[in-house]
Amino acid sequence: MQPVVEVENVTKRYGPTVALNDVSLHINSGELFALLGPNGAGKTTLVHILCTIHAPDKGTAKVAGIDVVRHPRQARSRIGVVFQDPSLDDRLTVYENLDFHGRIYGVPRAVREERIAEMLALVGLEEVRDRLVRTLSTGMKRRLEIARALVHQPKMLFLDEPTVGLDAQTRHKIWEYIRTLQQRHQLTVLVTTHYIEEVEQCDRVCIIDHGQVLALDTPAALKARYGQERLRVRFKDAGDAAAAAAQYAARVLRHAGDEVDLASEGEAFVEAFLSAHGTRIRALSVESVSLESVFLSLTGREIRDEAAGPRDQLRAFGRRGGEHTA
């Protein structure tokens, strides 16, 4: 079976900055596929190329067998997209936003009405169909954007940071809708995120950083191959933390101030460490193998250790004082 998404040796530059560096990956039909990486990793650039917004400098990209550079209009008819930033018309009602989208994609009226009713029911927005979008909560708007992306029955759904800026409860609900959509409609879904805990439920995860694919496999396989049990230690004094980091240099996963994270190897190592440093420790915990430990082992840094860029800061400013419920 031909993959729904085929990316071969794609490179993209913005001036001197290499956003994507010889990226290749395939996404199979019906997969829930995640791109995991920090801000600036290249996730959004790849999505923009697949959505025909940007063209690669080198390489090829296909969606549903269609080259997105040679035949962009055909490619667009087969995809649905939810971008990071809001793109709804808040002067229109919920229904009018969905209806307009269906008209743009040439969906016949009878089919359009049926699809709108189905999508509103699926994301739980039937009762607000006649409300202006500007009156909705942030979570409702995000659910509406997901519904809108599916009105024309695409083969591929792209979700670029669909839960950014939402509270934990709303993020959980959004993921429930995504899983329901993917399973009920046999959709192929590509989601980008920098929330590690969100990708545990995906079929496969691609870890990307500095525009390069570092690893691609199922969550279980990634943890088995790259995961590492972690000993997190907070010392009473930063000097003691530095000394411990130097003593266990080969095991250090992170060292910041009075905190040191070390690669652990079970109870024997923890007991030996406590015996040697117990009186100087303020707090200690052991974390089992996780995708976060996978990311650390591949990149050597925390996924959120990068400062927010101007767009992220502006987005956050725009949300201050707003409602974040589902």
My answer on whether 30 and 114 are in the same domain is yes
My answer on whether 244 and 211 are in the same domain is no
My answer on whether 214 and 264 are in the same domain is no
pLDDT of residue 309: 46
Q: Please say which residue of 199, 219, 239 terminates a domain.
A: 219
CA 165 – CA 312 distance, rounded (Å): 10
My answer on whether 235 and 183 are in the same domain is no
Question: Which of 13, 6, 7 lies closest to 211 in space, CA to CA?
Answer: 13
Task: Say if 224 falls within a structural domain.
Answer: no
Question: Which residue type is seen at 50?
Answer: L
My answer on whether 198 and 243 are in the same domain is no
- pLDDT tens track of the chain, all 326 residues? 679 999 999 999 999 999 999 999 999 999 999 999 888 899 999 999 999 999 999 999 999 999 999 999 999 999 999 988 889 999 999 999 999 999 999 999 999 999 999 999 988 999 999 999 999 999 999 999 999 999 999 999 999 988 888 888 888 888 888 888 888 878 899 999 878 888 888 999 999 999 999 999 999 999 989 887 889 999 999 999 999 999 999 999 889 999 999 988 778 899 999 999 999 999 999 988 888 878 877 886 665 544 444 444 444 444 434 444 45
CA 270 – CA 276 distance, rounded (Å): 10
My answer on whether 234 and 182 are in the same domain is no
Task: Say if 108 falls within a structural domain.
Answer: yes
Residue 34 near residue 178 (C-beta atoms within 8 A): no
Q: What is the CA radius of gyration of the chain?
A: 22
pLDDT of residue 317: 40
Residue with tokens 């920098």: 194
Q: Which two tokens stand for residue 69?
A: 């550079």
Task: Say if 104 falls within a structural domain.
Answer: yes
Question: Residues near 165 by Cβ (< 8 Å), separated by ≥ 6?
Answer: 138, 315, 316, 319, 324
Question: Which of 202, 205, 231 lies closest to 295 in space, CA to CA?
Answer: 205
Q: Which two tokens stand for residue 187?
A: 């959709």
CA 123 – CA 94 distance, rounded (Å): 12
What total of structural domains would you count in the chain? 2
My answer on whether 168 and 196 are in the same domain is yes
Q: How many CA atoms lie within 13 A of 116 on its CB side?
A: 21
Instruction: Say what the pTM is.
Output: 0.79
Question: Which of 232, 267, 226, 269 lies closest to 245 in space, CA to CA?
Answer: 232
pLDDT of residue 173: 85
My answer on whether 269 and 194 are in the same domain is no
Bridge partner residues of 272 (DSSP): none
My answer on whether 24 and 63 are in the same domain is yes
The CA dihedral of 200, 205, 211, 214, to the nearest 10 degrees, is 100
Q: Residue 126 is part of a domain; what is its CATH number?
A: 3.40.50.300
DSSP states of 210-260? TTEEEEEE-HHHHHHHH---EEEEEESSHHHHHHHHHHTGGGEEEEETTEE
Helix or strand (DSSP H, E) at 60: strand 58-63
pLDDT of residue 313: 42
Q: How many CA atoms lie within 13 A of 63 on its CB side?
A: 29
Task: Say if 249 falls within a structural domain.
Answer: yes
What domain range includes position 276? Answer: 229-288
